[in-house]
C-alpha cells in the first residue's frame, strides 16, 4: 500500500501495475506541435538511444508510484518535481483533478504538461553529475535530454541519427492516438 494513501497508486495496482514507472513530459513547440522530453541512455538495454524517464520503485518510495515518478525525474533528468510542494500535481494533474497516466505493458506512464525547459541549462547539469566519480550510477543514467516531436518521433533539430528506443516509440504512439482522439472529441463537442 502507498505510504501516502494515494487513490492513484491504489488504482494503478488494481490495473496490474508492478514495480516500475515511466514519465512523458509534453509541451507544445512554438504553440503548434506537441513534443516529448527524452533522455539519451548511457548504459543498459537502450544505451545510446533516447528513452522516457523511467525506473523501478525502491524502498525510499514507500510503495508509492507517484513518489517513484518524482524521484526518477530528479535522478535522471535533474528536474526538481516533488509531491510535498505541489509541483507534481501542477504538472501531472488534468482538468478533471486526476493525475494523468495510462497503463502500458503493466507500467503506469505519467503524462505531464510543462512549459519551456531550458535545455541549455539542464544538459550542463546532467553532464556535471556524470563527471563526478563518487555519485551513484542512478544519478548518471542519462547523457543528455532533448525534445522530440510526437508526430514523427524525430528530434526538433531534425537529426535522424538520434534514435528513439522501442519502449519510447510504443508509448509515444499511444500518446499520439490519445491526443488525436481527444482533439476529435473537442471538435464533436463544438458542433
Does 171 fall in a domain? Answer: yes
Does 150 fall in a domain? Answer: yes
Does 145 fall in a domain? Answer: yes
Retrieve residue 106's grid coordinates: 503493466
Q: Give the per-residue pLDDT at 191.
A: 42
Closest Cα partner for 14 from 30, 33, 1?
1
Does 1 fall in a domain? Answer: no
Confidence of residue 115 (pLDDT cuts 50, 70, 90): confident
Closest Cα partner for 78 from 115, 121, 42, 107?
121
- Distance, in Å, from the CA atom of 158 to the CA atom of 78, rounded to the nearest integer, reads 25
Q: Give the per-residue pLDDT at 114.
A: 86
Does 2 fall in a domain? Answer: no
Mean pLDDT of the chain: 88
- Which whole number is the average pLDDT over 133-156? 91
CATH at residue 181: 3.90.79.10
Q: Please report how many Cα atoms fall inside a 13 Å half-sphere around the Cα of residue 90, on the Cβ side.
A: 10
Confidence of residue 188 (pLDDT cuts 50, 70, 90): low
- Contact 51/168 with Cβ under 8 angstroms? yes
Does 100 fall in a domain? Answer: yes
Burial of 160 (0-12, 13-18, 19+ CB in 10 A): exposed
Does 56 fall in a domain? Answer: yes
Q: Tell me which residue range forms the domain holding 17.
A: 7-190
Is residue 127 predicted with pLDDT exceeding 50? yes
Greatest alpha-carbon span in the chain: 60
- Distance, in Å, from the CA atom of 143 to the CA atom of 18, rounded to the nearest integer, reads 27
The count of domains in the chain is 1
Does 144 fall in a domain? Answer: yes
Q: Please report how many Cα atoms fall inside a 13 Å half-sphere around the Cα of residue 62, on the Cβ side.
A: 9
Amino acid at each position: 500500500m502507498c505510504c501516502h494513501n494515494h487513490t492513484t497508486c491504489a488504482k494503478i495496482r488494481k490495473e496490474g501495475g508492478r514495480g516500475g514507472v515511466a514519465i512523458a513530459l509534453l509541451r507544445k513547440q512554438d504553440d503548434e506541435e506537441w513534443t516529448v522530453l527524452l533522455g539519451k541512455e548511457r548504459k543498459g538495454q537502450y544505451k545510446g538511444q533516447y528513452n522516457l524517464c523511467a525506473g523501478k520503485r525502491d524502498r525510499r518510495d514507500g510503495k508509492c508510484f507517484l513518489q517513484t515518478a518524482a524521484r526518477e525525474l530528479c535522478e535522471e533528468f535533474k528536474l526538481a518535481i516533488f509531491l510535498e510542494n505541489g509541483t507534481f500535481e501542477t504538472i501531472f494533474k488534468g482538468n478533471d483533478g486526476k493525475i494523468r497516466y495510462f497503463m502500458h505493458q503493466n507500467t503506469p506512464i505519467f503524462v505531464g504538461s510543462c512549459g519551456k525547459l531550458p535545455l541549455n541549462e539542464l544538459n550542463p547539469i546532467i553532464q556535471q553529475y556524470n563527471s563526478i566519480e563518487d555519485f551513484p550510477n542512478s544519478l548518471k543514467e542519462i547523457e543528455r535530454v532533448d525534445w522530440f516531436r510526437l508526430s514523427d518521433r524525430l528530434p526538433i533539430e531534425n537529426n535522424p541519427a538520434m534514435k528513439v528506443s522501442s519502449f519510447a516509440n510504443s508509448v509515444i504512439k499511444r500518446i499520439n492516438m490519445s491526443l488525436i482522439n481527444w482533439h476529435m472529441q473537442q471538435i464533436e463537442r463544438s458542433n
